[in-house]
Structure 1
Amino acid sequence: MSTDPGTELSSDPATPAPVDEGPPATPLLAPRDGLPPVIETSTALVAYADALAAGSGPVAVDAERASGYRYGQSAYLVQIRRAGSGTGLIDPVPLPDLSPVQRAVGDVEWVLHAANQDLPCLAELGLVPTKLFDTELAARLAGLPRVGLGAVVESLLGLSLQKGHSAADWSTRPLPEDWLVYAALDVEVLVEVRDELARILEEQGKTEWARQEFEAILAAGPPAARVDPWRRTSGMHGLRSRRQLGMLRSLWQARDDLARRRDIAPGRVLPDSAMVSAVQADPKTESALLELPVFRGRANRKLVSTWFGALTRARALPEEELPLHSRPGDGPPPVNRWADREPAAAARLKAARAALAQVSEQWSVPVENLLSPDLVRRLMWSPPTPADPDSVAAVLRAGGAREWQIGLTSALLAEAIAAG
């Protein structure tokens, strides 16, 4: 199959050189320009936006959330750094509209680490990049063994970042100084990391791959809302009947409503384990519910009517309104059932996985970045007819695969289908 000029493949891939452990990493303890004051006013925001506009080169961006403490994934601090502009620490609580920053740097390349984590909360503030470099994804494509920001900084720059505040309650005000230092350092050398990764990708012939990946992130937009998010409750695999699933769903919805109103992380309102225990115990009175662990606490004693009411409503539902054990989907069944239901599909998937593992090793790219595992399963369950490389490529393209991925895998997958 022909590919775009930018995705032409060499028969001799460049593999990353062995990591030279070298001397111990130098601790990065403080921002080189000192810790800037937090930007909390419109006047300060406009002044920093003007500084950003006067700067040069890519702009490093990061955000801190309080997802373990607050409801949702909103940002409670935004960190930005650009050459010639310095670092800005922006408090989005009093400044929920950061459009001055967007106007200043909206058309330049933004550098983020694990961009998918931060782009949604940045978009809520009016910050949406048009050009992107994701250092975590670039590190994966480059074959780095560890891709967390601290590990990448240490591997490429010989510096060690502070640890310990990533899971802090960033909605705290005022923010402690050591937290602010930690946040500022997250963007201190991010552009330098970007430059090193860009150099490595160029040496390995993967620059075009990275460009396509970054464009795909931008094109994807915000993630769609989850369907039946209550099914992600930890421990729910122990529930056997549809009635129990309905009771869990009702409890989850009551908890989510309360958490949203109070702006508290749902797990801090009522742990998943407590909801599952309540469903399994099936208490017939409020007093019986209060005998269960967690529900004996003062906070939940006050809320006992909320929780018991949720259970009571689920008990009264007619059978046809209760949730099924699994949500009907358009994809193939679980892989562990393939051998019994469709042995040929199981054989195709085994061959495809073996082929992809070889390509993954050859190019030093994690197999999950080589091609979406879900897309591979769908293809092997329902292959096109005829299953030639061009037909397989069309299926991959329709499923969102990038051209570099298609160029590497379509012929191999066609062979796997034929072998099955």
Structure 2
Amino acid sequence: MVEYRVIEDAEGLEAACQALAAGHGPVAVDVERASGFRYSQRAYLVQVFRRDAGVYLFDPPAIGDMTPLQAAIGGEEWVLHAASQDLPSLREIGLEPPSIFDTELAARLLGHDRVGLGAVVEDTLGITLDKAHSAADWSTRPLPQAWLEYAALDVLLLVDVRDVLTEELAEQGKTELAAEEFQAVLERAPKPPREEPWRRLSGLHTVRGRRGLAVARALWTAREEYAREQDVSPGRLVPDRALVAAVRADPASKQELSKVKEFTGRASRSQLDRWWAAIEAGRADESLPPERGSGDSLPPPRAWADRNPAADARLKAARPDVEKIAEELGMPTENLLTPDTLRRLAWTPPEPIDVASVSAALAAQGARPWQIERTAQAITDAFVRSVQTVSDAPETAS
């Protein structure tokens, strides 16, 4: 049985903050959301642990102003697991760490085979955590005691895990590069909104014609607006496959829409007027979307040989060299250099192709100094080598 205190009001918040401020060392922080249940990504529970202070479970919706907590722990290092997932929710309620230690990211950099919280705790401390409630609806009130104990355990051991991983990083000579990665996570700007988010509808590829796409867009937009209004995950109202089924059925009337068997979901019939209005709006829309989305995405690499042979040669030359460096460092390739970064560099290489220009191009795409130091020379050599590969290729007969 883990000891913890649930904080639901200003009085409890003040006492908890006094205790946390009097504790010592880093502060373990975790967030529980209601992903898959709610539209928002707000924090429904914030767990905090500090040595000599204990575990506190804060209920932000009930408390409101979390400023005292920021004041109590805002000058300490925060230990999080998969910090990039939790930081937006923390910032939304005014909680901002000055520095972080990300136990998941550290485990990746160290080459751990498993990087989930339960696995990292087991690998470092030999303790098995029960992760049964990780996908629970944390907007539920009151929260069951079993869920609260689960939440408390998520932070109770996190500082101990950090200490073990810190030693491992030092042993592998990765302390400085880990610090760069942690800082990059902390400073990373939010991703800009997608230009056409409706194109992420699962099954949209089965919709034919620009008019069909316009209807799909209108249905997606109507569902999004209603989901935001109700603070419910869109897929719980009407699943993607149901929206696509409605488009493909091409109903002639609201009654016909109601008879489409595949048009399911808890709001598929209760909000039938809404969905029919969206279908009519999509059919009347004069601004038809193109068959393919715009965006700045690159073609899939399998198409490069035909569309951009030189880029294909550069990618095929550089990728195995980068993978080899990652293997020597004992970490996943994507933590050494993201595949998208290498693909963009291969598609549009700098001029001239030398270490300085490749280094600058990597930096412009957000690569950290340690990543550039370890990959720029290898990428440069591979790109230069690929030029000879292309020039030696036999010409296609006309």
What is the letter of the counterpart of residue 163 of structure 1? K
Measure how far apart 1:336 and its partner are: 2.1
Seen in structure 2, the aligned counterparts of structure 1 residues 223 and 82 have a Cα distance that, compared at 3 Å, is: farther
- Find the counterpart in structure 1 of residue 240 from structure 2: 272
Give CA deviations for 1:61-88 in whole Å, capped at 9, x if unaligned.
0010111111121111100000111100
Q: The residue matched to 1:140 in structure 2 has which SS?
A: helix
Q: What pairs with 1:240-389 in structure 2 (closer than 5 Å)?
A: 240-293=208-261, 295=263, 299-318=267-286, 321-389=287-355
Counterparts of 1:419 and 1:392 in 2: how far apart (Å)?
Answer: 14
- Find the counterpart in structure 2 of residue 63 from structure 1: 31
What is the letter of the counterpart of residue 354 of structure 1? P
Question: Is the counterpart of residue 391 in structure 1 residue 357 in structure 2?
Answer: yes
Q: The residue matched to 1:300 in structure 2 has which SS?
A: coil
- Find the counterpart in structure 1 of residue 377 from structure 2: 411
Give CA deviations for 1:82-114 in whole Å, capped at 9, x if unaligned.
011110000111123211111111111000000
Q: Is the 8 A contact 2:237 2:266 kept in 1?
A: no
Measure how far apart 1:295 and its partner are: 4.0
- Find the counterpart in structure 2 of residue 185 from structure 1: 153
Seen in structure 2, the aligned counterparts of structure 1 residues 252 and 331 have a Cα distance that, compared at 3 Å, is: closer
Counterparts of 2:265 and 2:69 in 1: how far apart (Å)?
Answer: 46
What is the letter of the counterpart of residue 114 of structure 2? R
Give the alignment's Cα RMSD to 1 decimal.
Answer: 1.4
Q: Is the 8 A contact 1:80 1:88 kept in 2?
A: yes
What is the letter of the counterpart of residue 410 of structure 1? A
Counterparts of 1:259 and 1:92 in 2: how far apart (Å)?
Answer: 22
Bigger mean CA offset, 129-138 vs 324-333: 324-333
- Find the counterpart in structure 2 of residue 167 from structure 1: 135
Match of 2:60 among 84, 87, 92: 92
Seen in structure 2, the aligned counterparts of structure 1 residues 391 and 295 have a Cα distance that, compared at 3 Å, is: closer
Q: Is the 8 A contact 1:290 1:296 kept in 2?
A: no
Q: Is the 8 A contact 2:80 2:101 kept in 1?
A: yes
Q: The residue matched to 1:173 in structure 2 has which SS?
A: coil
Q: What pairs with 1:29-44 in structure 2 (closer than 5 Å)?
A: 30-31=1-2, 34=3, 36-44=4-12
Match of 1:119 among 67, 87, 90: 87
Q: The residue matched to 1:185 in structure 2 has which SS?
A: helix
The answer to which structure, 1 or 2, has the higher relative contact order (CA under 8 A, 6+ apart) is 1
Q: Is the 8 A contact 2:243 2:263 kept in 1?
A: no
Measure how far apart 1:385 and its partner are: 1.5
Counterparts of 2:53 and 2:14 in 1: how far apart (Å)?
Answer: 13
What is the letter of the counterpart of residue 229 of structure 1? P
Counterparts of 1:382 and 1:300 in 2: how far apart (Å)?
Answer: 46
Give CA deviations for 1:203-236 in whole Å, capped at 9, x if unaligned.
1011111100111111114443333221221111
Seen in structure 2, the aligned counterparts of structure 1 residues 419 and 297 have a Cα distance that, compared at 3 Å, is: closer
Measure how far apart 1:329 and its partner are: 3.0
Measure how far apart 1:386 and its partner are: 1.4
Q: The residue matched to 2:269 in structure 1 has which SS?
A: helix
What is the letter of the counterpart of residue 329 of structure 2? W
Question: Is the counterpart of residue 158 in structure 1 residue 131 in structure 2?
Answer: no
Q: The residue matched to 1:345 in structure 2 has which SS?
A: helix
- Find the counterpart in structure 1 of residue 100 from structure 2: 132
Question: Is the counterpart of residue 209 in structure 1 residue 187 in structure 2?
Answer: no
Seen in structure 2, the aligned counterparts of structure 1 residues 375 and 40 have a Cα distance that, compared at 3 Å, is: same
What is the letter of the counterpart of residue 379 of structure 1? L
Counterparts of 1:274 and 1:392 in 2: how far apart (Å)?
Answer: 47
Q: The residue matched to 1:202 in structure 2 has which SS?
A: helix
Counterparts of 2:290 and 2:17 in 1: how far apart (Å)?
Answer: 52
What is the letter of the counterpart of residue 361 of structure 1? E
Q: The residue matched to 1:387 in structure 2 has which SS?
A: coil
- Find the counterpart in structure 1 of residue 395 from structure 2: none
Measure how far apart 1:294 and its partner are: 5.2
What is the letter of the counterpart of residue 138 of structure 1? A
Q: Is the 8 A contact 1:294 1:300 kept in 2?
A: no
Q: Is the 8 A contact 1:295 1:304 kept in 2?
A: no
Measure how far apart 1:374 and its partner are: 1.3
Q: Is the 8 A contact 1:59 1:109 kept in 2?
A: yes
Seen in structure 2, the aligned counterparts of structure 1 residues 330 and 70 have a Cα distance that, compared at 3 Å, is: closer
Give the gaps of 5 or more residues in structure 2.
Answer: 387-398
Q: The residue matched to 2:44 in structure 1 has which SS?
A: strand
Q: Is the 8 A contact 2:101 2:162 kept in 1?
A: yes
Match of 1:197 among 156, 162, 165: 165
Q: What pairs with 1:97-112 in structure 2 (closer than 5 Å)?
A: 97-112=65-80
Give CA deviations for 1:288-311 in whole Å, capped at 9, x if unaligned.
111112547774322111111101
What is the letter of the counterpart of residue 358 of structure 2? V
Seen in structure 2, the aligned counterparts of structure 1 residues 153 and 245 have a Cα distance that, compared at 3 Å, is: same
Measure how far apart 1:246 and its partner are: 1.3
Give the gaps of 5 or more residues in structure 1.
Answer: 1-29
Measure how far apart 1:331 and its partner are: 4.8
Counterparts of 1:396 and 1:46 in 2: how far apart (Å)?
Answer: 46
Bigger mean CA offset, 340-349 vs 327-336: 327-336
Q: Is the 8 A contact 2:236 2:266 kept in 1?
A: no
What is the letter of the counterpart of residue 236 of structure 1? L
**TM-score normalised to structure 2 length:** 0.94
Q: Is the 8 A contact 2:44 2:60 kept in 1?
A: yes
Counterparts of 1:55 and 1:283 in 2: how far apart (Å)?
Answer: 64
What is the letter of the counterpart of residue 339 of structure 1? A
Seen in structure 2, the aligned counterparts of structure 1 residues 294 and 342 have a Cα distance that, compared at 3 Å, is: closer
